[in-house]
Every structure is written in C-alpha cells, then in structure tokens.
Amino acid sequence: MRKRAREIEFDVDAYTARLIGRENVSKLEGALFEIVKNAYDADASVCCLYYSNTEDRIYIVDNGCGMKEEILRTHWMTIGNSSKKNSYISQNGRVQTGAKGIGRFALDRISDQCNMLTISEEGGLEWVVDWRDFDGSKRISEVKARVYDTEESLLEHVGIESWRNRAVAFEIAKCNFGETGTAFRLDSLHDIWDESTMNRLRNHLENLLPPDVTENFCIWFFNDSTKIEDALITSANVETYDYRIEFQVTANLVNIQIMRNEFDFRREEREVYTEAGFDEKEQAYFHGEKREESFTMEEIGEKENFIGDFGGVLYFYKISANKKDQKRFYYKDFTGRVNLAKKFGGIKIYRDQFRVRPYGEYGDNDFDWLELSARRNRSPAGLGKENGNWRVGSEQILGTVSISRKNTNLEDAANRNGIQEGIGFSQLKRILLFVISEFERDRQFVGRKLARYADKKDQLAAELEKMRQLAEARKVWEAEQASGKQPEKTEKVENQPTKSNLPPSANPEDVMNLVEGMEQKQAEELEELRNENKMLQTLATTGIITNMFMHEIRTSTNNIGIELNAAYEAMEYDHDVEYALQNILRAIRVKKNFASWFGITIESIKKDKRRRKRHNIQAMLSQYMNTWRDILDKSATSLIYECDPDIELWCFEFDIENIISNLIANSLASFDREMDRKLEKREIQLNIFRFGGGLSMEYQDSGWGLIPKYKKRPELILEPFESGHHFDGEDEDDGTGMGMWIVNRTISEYNGNIDLSKNREAETGFFATIILGGQNV
C-alpha cells in the first residue's frame, strides 16, 4: 500500500557533467573548432584568437550578435540545451552548425579560468567561471558562474591596447568591432602554446572552412611574434590542377561539369586535333569550355535520392609522370608541384561551411574514405590502354563536398567523429564515385586518342599493329575454314586480299622490312645501353684506381701542406729564406705527381675514348702506358711492356685501358701485402701480340700471387664482389671486388677469353692470358 507520495529530482554530479563535455571535445583542435563555429553561428564576420606569450593567456573576440541574458541563462548555462537545436538559421541566413549544447565545454578544454564579455542589443554582460569548481562532489546546480552588467567594450575587455603584437593589434582594431559580439580572456591554460602547437592549429584552421567562405568570415590566429600575413588564416586552396570537376545533386538530378586543364599541344595543336580525331566540340573543351553532363538518379543506378541536395568541387592533381608519358599525352608542365594532399587533405566534407572530420584528413584512416586506392588496384590500367579502365589514385584527387544539416540520413556520428553510417552515407559515396568515374572516362577518352596518335606516329608500331590485325584475321579465317562456314565479312584490314576465298596473309616484303626495321631499332637501343654500361665500367675503374692510390694521394697532399707550413715557419721565425725556398721547390715537385694520377683516372673518361673505332693498339696505348710507367716508377715498380706494332682492333679505347688498369691495380695491391719477408722485386710485365684476327695479352707480376682462397680455383676472382685485397692492413677485404669482374665482362664483349690456370701452380706472382677477338674485331 502506497503512502506519502512525493517526487525526487534527478540531478547530475558536477564532475560528470564536465566529463561529458570533455568526451566531446577531447582535442585542442576540437576546442578551437567549437569556438570558431560559435562565432560563425552568431553571424560574426571576424573571429580573432590571440595567444599572448608574455601573459600565457588567450584572448578570443568576435563581432557576432552576442547573447542576451535570457539566452545566457536558458541555453548557455543549461548543458545540452542548444538554441540552435530547433531553429538553425541565423538572422543573416547562415545555417547554424552547433546543436548539442556542449560547445561551451571547449572553453574548459582550453583553460581553467574563463572570463567572458558578451554584448547583445540589450547590453553587455560579463560572465566568470572557474571550471575547477566542477571538481569535488558538488551537484551541478551548486556550481555557479557570476554574471555582471558592464559597459566595457569588446576590445577593452581583451585589452587590445596592451597587446604585444602591435602590428596585428592595429589590423584587428580596424576590423568592424562595433556594437555586439563576444570576447573571452582565458587563463591557467592546459596546454603549452609553443610554435609547434601554433603551427598545428594554424593548419587545422586553414582546413576548417572551404575556400569560398572567407569572403564573409575571416579568422585571425596569432601570438606575440606572428607576422600580419601569417596571422590572417587563408583557407587551403587548390591553385593549379589538371582537371576540375564540379557537381550538384538537386532532387533527382546529378549535374556534372568537367574542365580539362591538363593538356598542352603547343605548336602541334592542329595536327593533333586532326590526326588524333578531336572534333570541334572536343577542341572547345581543351580551351576551357566545361563539359556538362546531366543524369537522373535512375540513370546512375539509384532508386531515389535519400540525402537531399548537395554538391562539391573535386580537383585532379597529378604530381608525377614519366618522361615518355609527358610527351605522349602532351601534359602541361607541372614541375615543382608538391603533394597537395598533405596540406590540403583529400576529399573533405563540409557541413554548412564547417569541416566534418576526419574525412580526407591526410594520415588518417579515413583519408581515402571512398577507397579509391583499392579501386585503382583492382583496375591498374594505364591512361592510353585500350582494354582496361584507368582509375584515379587517392592522392591525386582532392576537393570539397558540401552538405548541410538540412540533408537527411547524414547525421553526425554520436562521438562527433564523422557521419553516421547508413543508407544516406552509402549513397553519398556511390554518387561521388559516379562523379569521379565520369571524370575518369573523360580523361581516358583523351588519353586513348593521344596514345593511338602516338602509335600512329611511330611507324614501326603501326606496322606491327597491321601485322597483328592480319594475324587476327587469319586466325578467324582458319577457324571458319575448319568449321566449314562461309567466311563472314570481317573488318577490312589494309593489304588484305580482296577476294574473300583467299586466306588473309602478309606481304613477305612488308614482313622483311618490318623485321629489318625492328632489328635496326633494337640494335640502336642496344648500342645505347652498351655505351651507358661502358661508361659505368670506366667510372668504376676510375674509382678502383683512385682508391688504389689513396695512400699516395693523401701522402702527397699532406706533404705539400707540411712543406708550405715549414716554409712559412722558416720565414716567420727563423728568417731562413734559403730553407723556405727548398720547401717550396719540394712542394712543387710533389704537386707534379698528381698529374700522372689524373692521367690515369680523369683522362680515362674523356669523350673521344668513348667512341668505337679501328685502333692501332700500339699507338693507342703508347701515352697511356707511359703514364703508368711514371706512376709505377714512383712506387719502385718496374714495368716491362711490349706491343706488336701491327695490331688493328675495332674497339673502344677505354675498354682496353680498363682491362690494363684493373690488372695493374691488383698487382699493386699484391705488392703491398704484408708477408713474413720482403718482396724481392716489384715488376709487371705486359706483352701484347697479334693473335688470329685479334690480340693476345700476356700479363704477369712478381707479387705474392693469389691468396689461398683463390689458389685452387683462380677463375673465382672473375665473379663480382670477390676481393682478396688487404690494403692498409685491414682485417677484412676492402677491395671493391669489381675490378676483375669488369675485366671479364669486357673480355666477353669482345668474344674473348681469359686463362688464369697458371696461377694454380705458381708459388708467387700473378699470371693472366687474355685473348680478344670475334665479331667486334
């Protein structure tokens, strides 16, 4: 039996209320977003955020409509109650974006103490709160904020006169801070507002609003040292692009306008239009006219529009293309482009001019929320490909999609992170993908025509195409013959016999010409590659030789320095001119040594040595061997060199030099190997004589011979990265392991061979017999 009926009110613990707010605004970026959004919703044209480094305080001021006491009491002070929930069009016609009534907790996220002045048409109110009052075990109704009437102006409240950043303060003062608006002073900040925080927030603010909003709403964000030009936030924008795709979804219609800005035919314009087959309408698109298309929902495979009206702008922006494609597709010059996706983001959603995070946010999982990369992986075809669709990459396309709170089925997710998944969001994605595929179709339409034109220009490719077509036709003909059917009328192939009873076949002369042409082209390409390869081998040899002489080069450099320093000291301290002169003369002598080394290294890559011609070997090597003799002489090594006078060889000069240089480098390394006794003599012998149509080189040295590792199988030294050098007493091999490999490569290019078998028996010394001959001779 019930007695004494009464009602007990629910209440909320103050701390819990604060937690709810914090859950919703957990990041500093989010807090700033709420503050700017409130200013926008209040019809402000300026929102200014200033961090004073000297005071460690934040000033925020906007010139919106302010709040009346009634609003302050019933909405601002009532958690979860938003004045924008039911009526969301501002006096000036803006669609207000807030609705949850928790935006004010953004202030709690930023600081402990908050002092607000809000001036409405009814006058000014000062509101003071310390968020720490919500701590402890108080009930929400026990927490009080103080409100005063005041006649202070907005700019007085923020103390603009004493701002350290005078330049920006001057600009702010010029803004239209008239009668109404709201200003905050925030103290006891929770974050360290250093330059990196400022930069992070600035980038966030740049992406907060779409570019076209800044005309009637601007944001200033700065600290004591920010320059004026950096203080005014300009929305991240796309200034250069290859394609611009605008679209509007209105009721049952999807309108798309595609603008090409990617191609530049330069002087070939007329020729390309004619040969590639672009009609007048197409030509106009290349000159800036928009290609407009319109589709009904049914035509794009949608039953009905679940969302309502929306639109957007997308940009195709490539940052790389290989040279061949640049030429083939007549791309406009796009050098110097940076990855805009990093700064601008990908495809971003704006709801009533405010960013809906995290879509398109670079680095976030939802950057590629349309899953363009996976789509491209499924269809990786190139632009000019006849079969297969070209698909845009996720980092190549960026832009904005504008939705509104008026749209249905596109509600914010409860955690304020994105849009609720459901039929609306799925449809939004499908429509966007349709718009994107329209652009892709247009671009590939152009690409295919240009690729065909490029192929046509390439005669050989055209011939090949003709043969391919003939082969196809022949296959069809044979199949028909086998099935006993009468041949159907097939597509006419050029040169195909007109009599339908004859099998399609190629003209033998055409085939011969084609094969010859291809062989020639292949030979040219091979020659080019071979030359490149030779250049690299020579550069490698130069490196090996330089490394070989590093000790000598360093010694000479040191000695020049020491002689000059000694000359200086002799003059400065002893006034001994005679001694100083001797120093200088010795330095000059050392300097001369360099010339010989340069003769072997730098000279080896001279241009004329890279031309293949018929050489008299003795004449060709005369200067080169003299230079080696000089160098070897300095390291107490004798060179015994002989060459038959009548050897003629069709060769590159640096090929023969590379062989000799690498052999000598190995000998010198062997001479310098530390053993249990002194090497009796340092001698290199090279005899070159005529052998068949080519030549034979007999090479030997008096060094310590191959190390035990190679003694049994000397041919191993011809493998790449095999090295037995012990320069400078290092424990590990420090030869490059490339020298003998280069020798072997060069020999095989001349259809020659190398015999190292004598090294198996010889106790000391290194022996090689090299034969060069064959088709290159």
Partner 1 sequence: MYRVGYIDDEPTQFENYKRSLQRRCNDLELVLIDDCESKQDILDKIYEKRIDVLLIDYKMVKNYGFNGTTLINYINDSMRDIQCFIMTAVDTDQITDGLVATRDKYSKNIFDTEAGDRKKEEELSDFIQVLLESAKVFQVRRQQKVERYRELLEKKRRGELGADEEEFLELYKVLSSYGMVEKLPKNMLDSEFEERLQRILELGNTIIAEHREK
Instruction: Report the C-alpha gap between 376 and 372 in whole angstroms.
Output: 6
Site for partner 1 in 652-691 (CB under 8 A): 671-675, 677-679, 682
Near partner 1 by CB under 8 A: residue from 115, 538, 583, 746 = 583
Q: Are 419 and 425 in contact (CB under 8 A)?
A: yes
Residue 664 CB, nearest distance to partner 1 (Å)? 16
User: How far, in Å, CA of 580 to CA of 583, rounded?
Assistant: 5
Q: Give CA–CA dist 761/560, Å, rounded.
A: 45
Nearest to 154 by CA among 126, 127, 183: 183
Number of residues that bind partner 1 (CB under 8 A): 34
CB of residue 555 to partner 1, shortest distance in Å:
4
Cβ proximity to partner 1: between 120 and 670 the closer is 670
Min dist CB 733 to partner 1, Å, is: 12
Nearest to 660 by CA among 694, 620, 690, 625: 625
Q: Indicate the Cα dihedral angle 509, 515, 518, 522, nearest 10°.
A: -150
CB closer to partner 1, 279 vs 676? 676
| Closest CB 224 distance from partner 1, rounded Å | 41
Residue 753's φ and ψ, nearest 5 degrees, are -150, 165
When asked if residue 569 is in the footprint of partner 1 (CB under 8 A), the reply is yes
For partner 1, the closer of residues 80 and 561 by Cβ is 561
Q: Does 27 bind partner 1 (CB under 8 A)?
A: no
Please report how close the Cβ of residue 365 comes to partner 1 at its closest, in angstroms.
48
Draw the binding track, 416-435, toward partner 1 (x: CB under 8 A; -: no contact).
--------------------
Q: How many CB atoms neighbour CB 550 within 10 A? A: 12
Binding to partner 1 by CB under 8 A, coded x per residue (else -) over 696-735, reads --------------------------------xxxxx---
Closer residue to partner 1 (CB): 274 or 557? 557
| Binding flag, residue 513, partner 1 (CB under 8 A) | no
Binding mask 261-280 for partner 1 (x = CB under 8 A): --------------------
Q: Applying CB under 8 A, does 635 fall inside the site for partner 1?
A: yes
Phi, psi torsion values for 772, nearest 5 degrees: -115, 130
DSSP characters for 610-622? GSEEEEEHHHHHH
The DSSP result for 42-55, as a single string, is TT-SEEEEEEETTT
Is 558 an interacting residue with respect to partner 1 (CB under 8 A)? yes
Which helix (H) or strand (E) is 760 found in, with range? helix 758-761
If binding is defined by CB under 8 A, does position 289 make contact with partner 1? no
DSSP 8-state symbol, 602: G
Choices 134-142, 151-159, 552-560, 713-721 (CB under 8 A): range interacting with partner 1: 552-560
The CB density around residue 303, as the number of other CB atoms within 10 Å, is 8
- What's the angle, vertex CA 30, arms to CA 226 and CA 26, rounded to 5? 120
- Least Å distance, CB 565 to partner 1, is 5
DSSP 3-state percent helix, strand, coil across the chain (nearest 5): 45, 20, 35
User: Does residue 162 bind partner 1 (CB under 8 A)?
Assistant: no
Q: Does 636 bind partner 1 (CB under 8 A)?
A: yes
Which of these segments, 320-328, 333-341, 533-541, 551-559, binds partner 1 (CB under 8 A)?
Answer: 551-559
Short-list 698, 702, 700, 718, CA closest to 710: 718
DSSP one-letter string for 250-284: ETTEEEEEEEE-SB--GGGHHHHIIIII--HHHHH
Q: Is 763 in the site for partner 1 (CB under 8 A)?
A: no
Strand partners, 648: 616
554 binds partner 1 (CB under 8 A): yes
How far apart CA 26 and CA 336 sit, in angstroms, is 38
For residue 638, state whether it binds partner 1 (rule: CB under 8 A): no
584 binds partner 1 (CB under 8 A): no
Provide the pairing of β-strand 46-52 with 218-222: parallel
- The CB-of-560 to partner 1 minimum distance in angstroms stands at 9
Q: Looking at beta carbons only, is 194 or 728 nearer to partner 1?
A: 728
Task: Please give the single-letter amino acid code of residue 326.
Answer: Q
Asked whether the beta carbons of 339 and 268 are under 8 A apart, the reply is no
Closest contact distance (angstroms) between CB of 728 and partner 1 is 5
Question: Cβ 542 to partner 1, closest distance in Å?
Answer: 19
Which residues here bind partner 1, judged by CB under 8 A? 550-551, 554-555, 558-559, 561-563, 565-566, 568-570, 572-573, 583, 586, 635-636, 671-675, 677-679, 682, 728-732
